[in-house]
Chains A and B, each alone.
Chain A
Amino acid sequence: MTVEKILTWFYACKTTDVPENGGVCVKYNDEQIALFHFTRRNEWYATQNECPHRQQMALSRGMIGSQNGEPKVACPFHKRTFSLITGECLSDDECSIKTYEVKIEDGNVFIAVEE
């Protein structure tokens, strides 16, 4: 049996609202989602905004980059890095973050959340 997740796409912002190779924080009800435009790779990613290390709402203000080709974000507080694809922590094995799907339509950014 497969459990199908029901995804809801919501409108986040315009693509031009997000800085190149950087992130912004999107509000969805009480959730905070970090949205990144990896312009260099022409890719979009979304993760939870909270860094699990010290529970700080900061990942959207972090620097993005890659490690052996894997796209990642570094928390501005203590430089823990997380994979933007899997949400796994690349600096230690203790914590991971939630990731979200992103799609672009006509210059608008949509993020998928589970209902």
Chain B
Amino acid sequence: MKIVVIGNGMVGYKFCEKLVAKQSNQHKIVVFGEEIRPAYDRVHLSEFFAGKSADDLLMATADWYSENNIQLLLSDPIIHIDRANKKITSHHGLVEDYDILVLATGSAAFVPPIPGVEKQGVFIYRTIEDLELMTAYAKKAKTGAVIGGGLLGLEAAKAMLDLGIVDTQVIEFAPRLMPRQIDDAGSKILQHKLESLGLTIHTNKNTSAILGDDRITGMQFTDDTQIDVDMLVISAGIKPRDELAKQAGLAVGPRGGIMVNEQLQTSDENIYAIGECALYNNMIYGLVAPGYEMADVVVAKLTGGEKTFTGFDMSTKLKLIGVDVASFGNPFVASNEGRAIVLEDTHKGIYKRINISNDGKELLGGILIGDADAYNMLLQTCKSKVVLPPNPEDIILGSRGGSEASEGAGVASLPDDALICSCEAITKGMICSSVTDAACETVDAIKKCTKAGTGCGGCVPMIKDLMVHTMKTQGKYVRNVLCEHFDYSRQELFDLVKLKELKTYDEVLNELGKGDGCELCKPPVASILASLWNELILAKGNDTAQDSNDRFLANIQKGGTYSVVPRIPGGEITPDKLIVIGSVAKKYNLYTKITGGQRIDLFGAHLTDLPNIWQELIDAGFESGHAYGKSLRTVKSCVGSTWCRFGLHDSVSFAIEIEERYRGLRSPHKLKSGVSGCIRECAEAKSKDFGIIATEKGWNLFVCGNGGSKPQHALLLASDIDSETCIKYIDRFLMFYVKTADPLTRTATWLNKMEGGIDYLRNVVVNDSLGMAAQWETEMKLHVATYECEWKAAIETPEIRKRFSHFVNAPEEKDPTVKFDEMREMKKAKEWK
């Protein structure tokens, strides 16, 4: 059978791809395209301005077509279809016969009949050539306008901004932006957001003429107003390319479009039409997904399958100039069909609307602007007609008061193909099935079965959550215990150790555990002891219960050397201290790097050299940075009001105060903080475990943010508080966390699992609902009063200092297996296998 495809756009290409995948070489395929390039990704056309080349956008290279025996003829539009003899004629005079003809002619930009559209500087936004012309012209343009405030129009407006035309105006004929997808209120929010990004938006504006001699200089509107512009893009809609079909006598719709049935057959059974040129049930489907679906239906039909096209969900989610916009199901429900629940936050620029059936049981559709995170969940709820909860507003408001928040909600909501262990490429689904199918009920068993968590180990807490979650859904009782040696959770152990006043690891194991301990229970118990009694972590008996990094007060690095990170509070450092770091690094041949936490990391130190290096640093006034510990790392700060012209308060001084207060505090996991001097948030405080941002009236305190593998913004705990209150709240917050979190659980995960969420946490910290505030503050005071630099103690205690040697029987010798390579005038660890 010979199949001829007219049109090589995205849908025409997809048809070829699907046909080739189904039945290779059984059909002869010939494709005609009128553009000079093979099909490219028109949806991401605007990325052309973001540096992508025309080749980057190609769906497949020309070679792909020949490799799959597809004859591709470009720059050669078809001018005639002879249906009686089943032949077509191309512009270049080629005549090709066909058994099956597929029209994938797509659409063209609709250009309204405005006087002056032919002038120079007026463009349409459709092909790469259009973009190239715009790019060339934009160099001499200062002001621009776009006719059309729909999806494509706003894309075009983004393209204008990308081209450097800062003064760009959008002209929409309808009373609102994106009239087909979103309602008035949503449109207002969107408009406001776009205006804040620099676009000027006119609605209810009808262009009557394009002004200028040869080239455009301005626009005239029907309301007798005028604007001056150097450049105009018309993006007022599409019209289906049906002229060839019309000429061949195929049935077309009154307003354009080639009429097709459920099998995408036109009025001639040997001719199909797919994509934006096809009119099904009086509708043109102007998105790419339904076009692909149409291609799939025709391929199925031609290869003996059975499939029909019965319309397509036009739900969309996209990012318009950085603003999320989504619409799904039926976004506009008439009052007799259902009711709407609307959330409008003009401050944050968020608008959410859901339409529910009159009985409140079914989700009919909705609109999301500014925050479309819930889109997939809502779309699925809508499509599969899931029965709504009794308070359907919860699905856009989130559960308030947190009564719905369940343990492990974070991992439960991830899709099965979410990558959990990126070292070994293990997905959530693989981990869950190791629990259900292979009966793995410990993290070790899962590690052995799937290899997840055997690389860097960073995903182990998530593996544990997934295991607990999966076992719970199977109805199994899961007790959250440390390991085989302790039948307690960390929180229970914390309370028991305190009650029984146990001071060493062995005492804890004797009193509360069994067996000999292991690498799973030793570090958390050591951390509990350090948090509770604030004694030196290297005190005899507890030293070997510390993780290797804590035991040697440094992070072990590839190759077996250690890194040295002196504390640089708030990131502020004098020139003299910088010189000391430089000369120490030079003396001991260390690799130096600025860290993300505004300090300097010195890598490649031999174990034997650590005490001498620290001796020099401490003599120069440095102290331990606790980079090795599960404790406070850094308090990052912006330069603040002392220098910055925007700064409201002195963020550096406050950061130093905070860092010096909580340094050395042992906790379930590392702690990071930041202080920003104004709303611009240069210290990125909202990605920290606790972050502080200056306001006109004081400070806003945010908690439980995280960077890392599962980034999460910190949530507002208290606003406009003074420094003293801020510190008081942080004292309480940290003590609550230190006492109750599971081992290796960052504050973000701790909060995610907390019943009641941030509201509960606020109640505990701000309103003192547990009555613990006074005790926690006293305990923190004790911590501050008893803090001492561990490195100082280590180098002053000969017994401890002695431990920093590689060979017990040759203390002066360094590990001869340590090897370095050279890179950019410094050293790096030798690559391991």
Which residues of A does B touch, CB under 8 Å?
12-13, 17-22, 24-27, 30, 32, 35, 38, 40-41, 50, 54-58, 61-69, 71-72, 74, 76-81, 91-92
How far apart sit A77 and B808, CA to CA, in the bound complex (Å)?
21
Q: Which 10 A-B pairs have the closest CB atoms?
A: A65-B518, A76-B548, A22-B544, A74-B519, A24-B808, A66-B516, A27-B807, A63-B519, A54-B832, A65-B517
Q: How far is the CB of B506 from chain A (nearest CB, A)?
A: 7
Closest to A28 in B: B809
Contacts of A76 in B (CB 8 A): 547-549, 556
B832 touches A56 (CB 8 A): yes
18 A–B pairs (Cβ distance < 8 Å), ordered by A: A18-B808, A19-B544, A19-B803, A20-B540, A25-B806, A26-B807, A26-B809, A32-B817, A40-B506, A54-B833, A55-B832, A56-B560, A58-B560, A64-B544, A65-B516, A65-B521, A79-B457, A81-B519
A78 touches B457 (CB 8 A): yes
Contacts of B455 in A (CB 8 A): 78
Contact A21/B544 with A57-B560, A79-B519, A91-B448 known, Cβ cut-off 8 Å: yes
- Is B657 part of the contact surface with A, judged by Cβ < 8 Å? no
Contacts of A69 in B (CB 8 A): 515
How far apart sit A80 and B448, CA to CA, in the bound complex (Å)?
11
A62 touches B548 (CB 8 A): yes
Contact A12/B809 with A63-B519, A92-B454 known, Cβ cut-off 8 Å: yes
Number of chain B residues close to chain A: CB under 8 A:
47
Which residues of B does A touch, CB under 8 Å?
444, 447-448, 451, 454-457, 484-485, 506, 509, 515-519, 521-523, 540-541, 543-545, 547-549, 551-552, 556, 558-560, 803, 806-810, 813, 815-818, 832-833
Q: How far is the CB of B526 from chain A (nearest CB, A)?
A: 10
How far apart sit A78 and B816, CA to CA, in the bound complex (Å)?
22
A63 touches B807 (CB 8 A): no
Residue of B447, B451, B552, B809 with highest tally of chain A CB at under 10 A? B809
Interface of B is mostly: loop
Contacts of B803 in A (CB 8 A): 19
Closest to A90 in B: B444
How far apart sit A81 and B62, CA to CA, in the bound complex (Å)?
54
Closest to A78 in B: B457
Residue in contact with A26 in the complex, picked from B451, B456, B808, CB distance below 8 Å: B808
Q: How far is the CB of B720 from chain A (nearest CB, A)?
A: 45
Contacts of B541 in A (CB 8 A): 20
Contacts of A18 in B (CB 8 A): 808
Residue in contact with B809 in the complex, picked from A13, A58, A81, A91, CB distance below 8 Å: A13
Contacts of B521 in A (CB 8 A): 65
Contact A40/B516 with A24-B808, A78-B454 known, Cβ cut-off 8 Å: yes
Contacts of B807 in A (CB 8 A): 25-27, 32
Q: How far is the CB of A27 from chain B (nearest CB, A)?
A: 4
A57 touches B817 (CB 8 A): yes
Contact A57/B815 with A19-B803, A21-B545, A67-B518 known, Cβ cut-off 8 Å: yes
